[in-house]
């Protein structure tokens, strides 16, 4: 069933509803086809998961994609459940290939149930860590022996650092290294955790993958995508309004989708400046509870720093006299402590300018807008 609203704010539907990412998709495919495993990162909600799903749509005929989201897993055994579930969901039991695979998974004696909403199959084992590892290994070995190639995309990969099994990444690394027909994408939103996992010499995954990070979608292409869908929906919208929306959402994929989704479905055929601004205002109003909740989650100094960063948009030296004085942030050491806490909680992120200068900014464009408007 086609989406009612062409601007998706969750999930992936089909290439039609996906804007651009052509060079990113090509690059990713190129790495995999050439035998490399890839670590895919970006700030939150920029479009990593979408890109993986999009790539799966474009895989060559002899490739299969298996997508595993491990965010909700807390142990190796749950990893196995998520992985086995992803494997059986990737191939219907009635297909010849699927049958072989299902038989293999079934021989490991999981409980197979069907989700009450989606009716998709779920596998569950409930094993101890060592057995779970063996099972994961067997499934991978089984995939390795097939006459097709496989991409296993493990999303929210940083989650394995939270497993009680301390050597989870070392173990996985050793298994993955033996694979030729199975390639991996490790994707994650917690940029610093992913960086630690893959780029720190003391960690097993050190330099074992190529790093691919994605940024904003090309503005011209996003513009055309938005225009196309508004016209297709029989709506009138001017170029400058599209530009205003893109700027308001700071070209951040999720927020662009969100505002376009609202404006598209607001019931008005002719989109004027007032129409879209009203929708933007309503969005912020709806989220106000969430924003106030941030304040309850944070200490006073953390909240003040967060607001200061939101208002400044980009902060180069958070401990500078000017910045501290302007926002009454106390001492530099307080600011440093708060900065670390906000980074750990992923309320802000740090990155580098083209000149190599570090800066701090916020993920949440809507919080930023809301803070500015107070
Ligand atoms: N190229 C695109 N064109 C249109 N919509 C997109 C595109 N990429 C992502 N989206 C949409 O933007 C939203 C955020 O994308 P996605 O979930 O892929 O981001 P993410 O980087 O995986 O986020 P997180 O860090 O939270 O996991 C989703 O609703 C998705 O449908
Ligand atoms: Mg994601």
pLDDT tens digits, the chain, 374 residues: what are they?
Answer: 889 999 999 999 999 999 999 999 999 999 999 999 999 999 899 999 999 999 999 999 999 999 999 999 999 999 999 999 999 999 888 888 888 888 999 888 888 888 888 889 999 987 777 889 999 999 999 999 999 999 999 999 999 989 998 888 888 988 998 899 999 999 998 777 787 888 888 888 887 899 999 999 999 999 999 999 999 999 999 999 999 999 999 999 999 999 999 999 999 999 999 999 999 999 999 999 999 998 899 999 999 999 999 999 999 999 999 999 999 999 999 999 999 999 988 889 988 888 989 999 988 899 989 988 77
Report whether residue 226 contacts ligand 1, using a CB cutoff of 6 Å. no
Question: Ligand 1 atom closest to Cα of 18?
Answer: 3
Q: What is the pLDDT of residue 312?
A: 92
Ligand nearest to the CA of 41: 1
Structure tokens at 178: 């033996």
Question: Ligand 1 atom closest to Cα of 12?
Answer: 31
Neighbouring CB atoms inside 10 A of 342's CB total 22
List the residue whose alpha carbon is closest to atom 23 of ligand 1.
Answer: 45
Report whether residue 54 contacts ligand 1, using a CB cutoff of 6 Å. no
Query: Residue 318 and residue 329: Cα distance in Å, rounded?
Result: 10
Question: Ligand 1 atom closest to Cα of 189?
Answer: 25
Rounded to the nearest angstrom, the distance between the alpha carbon of 110 and the centre of ligand 2 is 27
Q: What is the pLDDT of residue 136?
A: 95
Query: Residue 47 and residue 18: Cα distance in Å, rounded?
Result: 10
Ligand 1 binding pocket mutation candidate from 53, 257, 260, 364 (most atoms within 8 A of CB): 257
245, 277 Cβ separation under 8 angstroms? no
Ligand nearest to the CA of 43: 1
List the residue whose alpha carbon is closest to atom 9 of ligand 1.
Answer: 47
Rounded to the nearest angstrom, the distance between the alpha carbon of 178 and the centre of ligand 1 is 32
Ligand nearest to the CA of 50: 1
Ligand nearest to the CA of 46: 1
Model pTM greater than 0.75?
yes
Q: What is the pLDDT of residue 153?
A: 98
Report whether residue 65 contacts ligand 1, using a CB cutoff of 6 Å. no
């Amino acid at each position: 069933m086609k989406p009612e609203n062409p601007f998706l704010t969750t999930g992936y539907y089909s290439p039609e509803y996906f804007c651009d990412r052509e060079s990113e998709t090509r690059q990713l495919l190129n790495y995999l086809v050439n035998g490399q495993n890839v670590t895919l990162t970006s700030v939150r909600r920029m479009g990593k998961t979408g890109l993986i799903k999009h790539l799966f749509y474009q895989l060559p005929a002899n490739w299969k994609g298996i997508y595993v989201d491990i965010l909700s897993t807390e142990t190796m055994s749950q990893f196995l459940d998520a992985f086995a579930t992803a494997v059986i969901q990737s191939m219907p039991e009635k297909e010849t290939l699927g049958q072989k695979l299902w038989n293999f998974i079934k021989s490991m004696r999981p409980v197979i149930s069907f989700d009450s909403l989606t009716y998709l199959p779920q596998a569950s084992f409930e094993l101890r860590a060592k057995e779970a590892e063996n099972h994961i290994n067997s499934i991978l070995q089984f995939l390795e022996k097939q006459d097709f190639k496989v991409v296993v995309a493990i999303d929210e990969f940083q989650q394995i650092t939270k497993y009680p099994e301390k050597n989870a990444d070392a173990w996985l690394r050793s298994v993955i290294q033996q694979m030729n027909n199975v390639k991996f994408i490790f994707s994650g939103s917690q940029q610093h955790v992913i960086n630690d996992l893959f780029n720190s010499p003391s960690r097993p995954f050190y330099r074992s993958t190529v790093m691919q990070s994605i940024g904003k979608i090309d503005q011209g292409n996003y513009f055309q995508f938005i225009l196309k869908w508004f016209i297709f929906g029989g709506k009138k919208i001017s170029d400058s309004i599209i530009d205003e929306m893109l700027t308001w959402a700071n070209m951040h994929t999720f927020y662009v989708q969100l505002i376009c989704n609202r404006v598209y479905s607001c019931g008005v055929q002719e989109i004027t400046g007032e129409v879209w601004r009203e929708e933007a205002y309503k969005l912020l109003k709806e989220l106000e509870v969430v924003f106030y909740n941030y304040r309850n989650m944070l200490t006073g100094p953390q909240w003040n720093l967060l607001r200061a960063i939101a208002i400044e948009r980009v902060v180069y030296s958070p401990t500078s006299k000017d910045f501290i004085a302007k926002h009454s942030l106390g001492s530099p050491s307080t600011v440093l402590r708060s900065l670390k806490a906000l980074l750990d909680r992923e309320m802000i992120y740090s990155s580098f300018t083209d000149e190599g200068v570090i800066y701090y900014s916020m993920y949440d464009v809507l919080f930023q807008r809301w803070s500015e408007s107070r």
